[in-house]
Structure 1
Amino acid sequence: MKELWLEIDSSVPETQKTKLLKSAAKTCDAVLVDPEDVEKAKKAGIKTASTSEEADTVVLSALDPEKLKTLKAKGKTVAVKIVITGKKDEETAIEAAELNSDYVIVGTPDWKIIPLENLIAKTRGKTKLLAEVSSTKEAKIALETLELGSDGVVLKTADLEELKQTAEFAKKGSLSLKLVAVEVTSVKEIGTGARSCIDTCELMKPGEGMLLGCQSSGLFLVQAEVHESPYVETRPFRVNAGPLSLYALTSPTRTRYLSELKAGEEVLVVDREGNVRLTNVARSKIEWRPMLLIEADCGGKTLKLIAQNAETIRVVTPKGSKAVTDLKKGDKIMARVEEGGRHFGTLVK
C-alpha cells in the first residue's frame, strides 16, 4: 500500500490548518508539521512527523549518521529529508537507506524523473522512499515511476481539493466498489447507433472492464476484448463500450457520457470483485453498428444497457463472462447499483 503524507506549512491560517488536519485524518497516513503543530495534529487523530522528538516520526532535515543512530537506539521511527540537486545527493539518500532510516524523503525541485528512478532501484527493500510533491500530477509520476513507483508521497498543499484528488489516486489500490449479480429479464435487437470503443493505456485481464449503463444508478460490467474468438484478435486494451450516450464510471464518485471521453482522460478499470484501478483513454473509436437492449432486475428496479449486437462483446458474470448475443432471461450478470441520481456526473441522493 502506498503511503500518503500531508505537509502543512506553519504559515497556513489556523482555520484552514484545522480543515486540512480533519481531512488528512481520513485520507493520509501521517502529517508533516512544524514542532509547534505536533500536539494539534495528534489531537486530530493522525500520526505525526516533525523535527520534534515528540512526533511519531522524527524528521532529520539532513543526514546526520550519529543522530540517526542515537534516535534508532531510542526506538524512534526516523525519516531523513534530502533535496536532490545532483549525484552526490543521490548517494546521500542511498546512504541514509543503508543506515536503516525508516523513511527517506526526497525532493527533486525541477522534477527530473531519472534521479527518482535511480533511487527506487537502489533503495528498494532498504527503506521507504517518499517523494515530495505539490500536486496530484506530480504524485502520479512519483507513484508510477519504474512501474513500482516510490513507496509514497509527501504532498505539500493547503488546498483541500488537491488533497482529495491525490488521496484518491494514491490509495487507489485500496479502492473497491460493491458489485452485485443482477438478473437478465429481456434482450432485444434495436436499431443502429454510433458505438464507441474505448481504447485505454492499460492491458486488461478476463473479468476486467468498464462499468457502463443507460442509468448512472445502474452500471453493468462490460468486459474488455480479452476473450479468444475465431472472428477477431483479442484487444486487451479495449472495451467495446456502446452508444455515445451511455454513462461510464470514470472515478469512484463520478460518471461521464462516453461522448465526453477523449485521449488522456481518466477512466476506471474494474473487476468482478469490485477492485478498481485508474487508466487513461488512448482514443475513442466511433462507428455505426446494430445494437441490443439488455434489461435486468435488481430488487424490483429495472436496469438497462445498450451494447453492440455482436458476439465479441461480453458482460462479466459471477464466474466468467458471456457474449451479449447469448444472454437469456434469468442469466446473472455483474453490475453496480446505487440509490440517487447525478448532477453533471456527481451523485445526488
Structure 2
Amino acid sequence: MKEIWLLTEGDNWSEVKEQVKDAIEIGFTGVVVKDEFAEKAAKLGRIAVVGKSDGEGLIGKGKAYFLDITSAEAQQEAIELSEHADYLFLSFSDWRIIPLENLIAMRKRAKIIAEVSSVDDARVVLTTLEKGADGIAVKGNREELLGYFKAVMEDSGRLNLKPAKIVEIKPLGVGERVCIDTVTLMSVGEGMLVGNKAGFMFLVASESEESEYVASRPFRVNAGSVNAYIKVGDKTKYLAELKTGDEVEIVRYDGAARKSYVGRVKIERRPLMLVRAVANGEEGSVILQNAETIKLITSEGKHKSVAELKAGDEVLVWVGQKARHFGVGVEEFIIER
C-alpha cells in the first residue's frame, strides 16, 4: 500500500502540533518534524514520526535520509544510501521523471518517498514505471492534505485483472469458511482477491448487493475457506490468520485498490464448493461457501452468484508471482495445485 507523509512547516511547536493532529485525523502514514519536536509529536497519536536534522532523520530505530536529486551524482548517492536506509525522502528541484524511474528500478532496501507539490504530481509519482514510488511527502493546509490523501487512496495500486473462464464447479461438503467484516463500506464491483494459489486469485465480491434472502452488508466479504490466500498489498496472508485490526486490500473491478482494516472475522462451518478457472493458460481455484449470496465479479463490475456459475462463464482474477515464503514473494521453484 502506498504511504503518505506530512512535511511539517514552522519553528513553533503549537503550529506544528496542529499540523500533526491533522495528519493523524486524516489517516496519514507518518509525519516529518524537526528533531526537537519528534518526542512530542509521537505522543499525539499512533503515527510514524521522523525527527529530521541536517538532511538525516530517525524513525524508531531506523534511518531516513533527505535528498534533493539535482544531478546524476545525487542520484547515485541515493542509490548507495538505499542499501542501508529505511526511507529516502526525495525532492526534485528540477522535476523530471527519468531520475525517479532510475531510483525506483535501482534502489536496494529503502522505501522511496517523493516530495510533491500538486495532486497531479502525486499521481505521476505513484504510477511511474507502473509500480511507482512507495509514497509521497506533502505540505499544505487541511483541505489540501485531504486532496492528497484521496489521490493516494485512489492510486495506491492499480492491479491488472484478467477475465478467466470457469472450467469446473464442484460441491465439496462441509468445511470452515471465513467472513471478513471491514471498517470500510464497499460498493458493487468491489471485493477482495482470494485463491488457493498465491499467483492466481479470484475477485470475491462484497455483500453490497441487496438480496431477497438477506439485507446487504457492504462492509463484508464472505471470502472463502480457511486455507485460502488473500492478497494484501505485495504480500499474502491465509484467511485463517486474519484478525481485528489487520490491514486488507479492497479491489475494484477496474483494478483500483485501496486499503482498509478488519473489524471482525467470523469463521463458521458451512457447505463449500470448488471453483476452478483458466486465464492465459494459467489455472487456479478457490473454495467458497456454497450459497447464492456468495458472488464473484465480472469485467463489467457485475456480481455473479456461485449458485448460477457454469463452465464457460468468465469472472475476474489476478495472476501474479507464484512463489511465496511467509507471504512474501521469492524466487524459487514451487508448484501449487
3-state SS in 2 of match to 1:325: coil
Instruction: In structure 1, give the amino acid aligned to 2:265.
Output: S
3-state SS in 1 of match to 2:212: coil
Instruction: In structure 2, give the amino acid aligned to 1:334.
Output: L
Within the alignment, does 1:257 sit opposite 2:238 as a pair? yes
The 3 A distance-change label for structure 1 pair 3 and 230 is: closer
> CA separation in 2, counterparts of 1:83 and 1:209?
45
The 3 A distance-change label for structure 1 pair 190 and 162 is: farther
Give the structure 1 partner of residue 326 of structure 2: 344
Aligned counterpart for 1:277 among listed residues 246, 250, 258 = 258
> CA separation in 2, counterparts of 1:116 and 1:301?
43
Question: Does structure 1 conserve the Cα–Cα contact (< 8 Å) formed by 2:24 and 2:47?
Answer: no
> CA separation in 2, counterparts of 1:208 and 1:138?
28
**% identical aligned pairs:** 38
Give the structure 1 partner of residue 313 of structure 2: 331
The 3 A distance-change label for structure 1 pair 266 and 162 is: farther
Q: Which has the higher helix share?
A: 1
Q: CA deviation at 1:5?
A: 6.6
> CA separation in 1, counterparts of 2:232 and 2:192?
9
3-state SS in 2 of match to 1:328: coil
Q: CA deviation at 1:83?
A: 4.6
3-state SS in 2 of match to 1:242: strand
Aligned counterpart for 1:233 among listed residues 206, 211, 215 = 215
Give the structure 2 partner of residue 82 of structure 1: 10
Give the structure 1 partner of residue 296 of structure 2: 315
3-state SS in 2 of match to 1:326: coil
Output aligned runs, 1:1-349, within 5 Å.
81-83=9-11, 85-86=13-14, 89=15, 107-108=16-17, 113=21, 132=32, 138=47, 157=59, 158-159=63-64, 160-161=85-86, 164=111, 168=134, 171-174=152-155, 175-251=157-233, 253-319=234-300, 320-349=302-331
From the CA coordinates, give the structure whose radius of gyration is larger.
1
3-state SS in 2 of match to 1:278: strand
Question: What is the aligned length?
Answer: 231
> CA separation in 2, counterparts of 1:219 and 1:294?
11
Q: CA deviation at 1:329?
A: 0.6
Q: C-alpha deviations, 1:43-80, integer Å up to 9, x for none?
A: xxxxxxxxxxxxxxxxxxxxxxxxxxxxxxxxxxxxx9
Could you say what the CA RMSD is over the residues aligned between the two structures, in angstroms?
3.3
Q: CA deviation at 1:340?
A: 2.8
Q: CA deviation at 1:296?
A: 0.3
> CA separation in 1, counterparts of 2:205 and 2:330?
28
> CA separation in 2, counterparts of 1:212 and 1:115?
32
- Structure 2 unaligned regions, length at least 5: 50-56, 65-84, 89-110, 114-132, 137-151, 332-337
The 3 A distance-change label for structure 1 pair 196 and 282 is: same
Q: CA deviation at 1:298?
A: 1.4
> CA separation in 2, counterparts of 1:244 and 1:115?
36
> CA separation in 2, counterparts of 1:85 and 1:345?
41
Instruction: In structure 2, give the amino acid aligned to 1:336.
Output: W
Instruction: In structure 2, give the amino acid aligned to 1:216.
Output: A
